[in-house]
Amino acid sequence: MSETVADEVRAREASAREIVAQAKAEGTRLVASARTVGEQAIKEARQKFHRYFRDEVRRAESEAEVSAVNIVDAGKEETDRFYSDKKSRTAEVADWLAKEVMSAYGN
């Protein structure tokens, strides 16, 4: 009877070792699978945010380009106004400059 019980215990221990080995293998497989899924999720998130930030940079550059054109156009208009406002004084200033040079250096 003791031999039968001992055999039964050994059989159960062997069965338990096999179950533990299978569980470890399954755990290893699940960890590897989870790691792969996690790495893929990280990769996709990086790509998504890379595209998002690239598009945001393009949008900002486009807005900056429009703003720069508007600033340059406003500057040109202001320059043209200044020029046209001061254009009438050109002869007066030229005459004054000529008189100053003549008085400083003579005829």
Tens of pLDDT, residues 15-71:
999 999 999 999 999 999 999 999 999 999 999 999 999 999 999 999 999 999 999
- Structural domain range at position 20: 2-105
Overall number of domains in the chain: 1
Q: Is the dihedral of CA 19, 23, 25, 29 positive or negative?
A: positive
* Residue with token string 């009438």: 88
User: Distance between CA atoms of 38 and 58, rounded to whole angstroms?
Assistant: 30
| Number of alpha carbons in the 13 Å side-chain half-sphere of residue 8 | 5
Query: Hey, what are 7's tokens?
Result: 């055999």
With cut-offs at 50, 70 and 90, classify the pLDDT of residue 5. confident
User: Distance between CA atoms of 105 and 93, rounded to whole angstroms?
Assistant: 18
**Helix and strand numbers, DSSP H then E, in the chain:** 2, 0
